[in-house]
Structures are given as C-alpha cells and as structure tokens.
Chains A and B, each alone.
Chain A
Amino acid sequence: DAGVIQSPRHEVTEMGQEVTLRCKPISGHNSLFWYRQTMMRGLELLIYFNNNVPIDDSGMPEDRFSAKMPNASFSTLKIQPSEPRDSAVYFCASSLFADGETQYFGPGTRLLVL
C-alpha cells in the first residue's frame, strides 16, 4: 500500500511568495494532520481534519497560513506571503480512525524561504 504522499519534497522560494504544500493521505484514513518541524521547536501540530472537516487549527501560527481538505484524498497547506521564519520541514500524517491515535507520516516537504 502507498503511504502518505507529499509534494513537493523540496521547495525553495523567496520571501513574499505563495507556497502550496500538498498531501494525499493513506486511502481509507479518516484523519489528516499537518505538522511543522524545526530544530528549535520540534514537531508542532498546525491543524488537523476529521472526515475532511477542520477540527483544530489552533496551531496555525498566523493568518498567512491556511489549510484545506476538499476531499478525502487530498489536502493543501498554503502560506501566503511566505517569510524566512517559515523555513522548516512540513509533515502530513494520516490516521485510520477519527480519534487520530495512530498516525503515519509522509516524507515531508523541506521548505526554504530566502
């Protein structure tokens, strides 16, 4: 079975540009999570969805960040405008059950904002 798929794997952009990260969860999984990982702050939960509905976006750092899940097999995380401090690895994870207990991570997107 294919795992969680993320694209792009690497993104380099200039400050002020829009960045869109994409995620395809494991088929049949009901919950999807977006995380950001940095050396300083570790792994931080940004937002998660149950059955395509955003449940908790309290981890989204600013209004510059937005996430959507238009269907069960696709989600996007958008940063507009991007800033250098957004540079991090962004992971998407999915979970079979709505309780979000056992999560499987995608390979991540390494974002560098210059």
Chain B
Amino acid sequence: QKEVEQNSGPLSVPEGAIASLNCTYSDRGSQSFFWYRQYSGKSPELIMFIYSNGDKEDGRFTAQLNKASQYVSLLIRDSQPSDSATYLCAAYRGTDKLIFGTGTRLQVFP
C-alpha cells in the first residue's frame, strides 16, 4: 500500500462545476497535508495546506481533512479550463520530508 494514494484520473468536469479531488494516507502520524498543482511540463506549485480536521477555504479552493478516515480532499469551485493540471497530494509526518501521491489529472472542458 502506498503511503499517499490518489486516483490518477483524468477527472473531467465542465467549466463552472465543482471539481473534487481525493487523497488517502496510511500513516496516522501524518500531521499536515499539502496540495500542489502541476501544469504539464512545469514544476509543482503549492496551492494549499491544512493541519486541522475540517475545511479550509482559500478563494475558489477548499481543502478538507478527516484524520479519523485518513482522508484529504481538494474542492475547486467554479472550475476553469486554466485549472486543468495534475494535482499532487502530500503528507508531512514531521520527519523532515513530504510524502507525495502520484497525482490526479484534472481536465476542465468549456
């Protein structure tokens, strides 16, 4: 079992819809969680992080964390074609390094 798992996708949503990206993790010692966006041919870009159970909102993005279920999600409201990218989930265990999932490819079509 991978430490951080994501569905590879692609997840296809129409423009204006809510895109829901999911991530599960196996290590209950994981303390915080990060979402990176990676456009094709580019480097990962940090878009959100979350430490506590519940929701954290930043503009059109909402990160959700449920430590009991070991589940993290990223919601993108009013999805735009420019949101089309691969989204990487990462878990931090407090051991100096992030553990990345393999990413979910999101396609937003007009």
Interface residues of A (CB under 8 A from B): 31, 33, 41-43, 45, 48, 50, 55-56, 91, 98-108
Contact among B45, B92, B94, B100 for A43, CB-based, below 8 A: B100
Instruction: Please tell me if the beta carbons of A45 and B44 are within 8 angstroms of each other in the complex.
Output: no
Q: How far is the CB of A53 from chain B (nearest CB, A)?
A: 11
Instruction: Please tell me if the beta carbons of B43 and A100 are within 8 angstroms of each other in the complex.
Output: no
B28 in contact (CB, < 8 A)? no
Instruction: Please tell me if the beta carbons of B97 and A42 are within 8 angstroms of each other in the complex.
Output: no
Q: How far is the CA of A6 from the CA of B42 in the complex (A)?
A: 13
B34 in contact (CB, < 8 A)? yes
How many B residues touch the partner, as a band?
A: 10 to 19
- Give chain B residues whose Cβ lies under 8 Å from the Cβ of A42: 100-103
B88 in contact (CB, < 8 A)? yes
Since A100-B92, A101-B92 are in contact, a sample of 17 more A-B pairs with Cβ atoms closer than 8 Å, ordered by chain A residue number, is A42-B101, A43-B100, A45-B100, A48-B97, A56-B97, A91-B43, A99-B94, A100-B96, A100-B97, A100-B98, A102-B46, A102-B49, A105-B36, A105-B43, A105-B45, A106-B43, A107-B43
Where chain A touches its partner, the secondary structure class is strand
Contact among A41, A99, A104, A105 for B96, CB-based, below 8 A: A99
Instruction: Please tell me if the beta carbons of A102 and B34 are within 8 angstroms of each other in the complex.
Output: yes
Instruction: Please tell me if the beta carbons of A91 and B44 are within 8 angstroms of each other in the complex.
Output: yes
Contact among A33, A41, A104, A108 for B97, CB-based, below 8 A: A33
- Give chain A residues whose Cβ lies under 8 Å from the Cβ of B100: 42-43, 45
B32 in contact (CB, < 8 A)? yes
Interface residues of B in 11-45 (CB under 8 A from A): 32, 34, 36, 42-45
Q: How far is the CA of A45 from the CA of B46 in the complex (A)?
A: 17
Interface residues of B in 33-66 (CB under 8 A from A): 34, 36, 42-46, 49
Q: How far is the CB of B38 from chain A (nearest CB, A)?
A: 9
| Most chain A CB neighbours (cut-off 10 Å) among B42, B45, B96 | B96
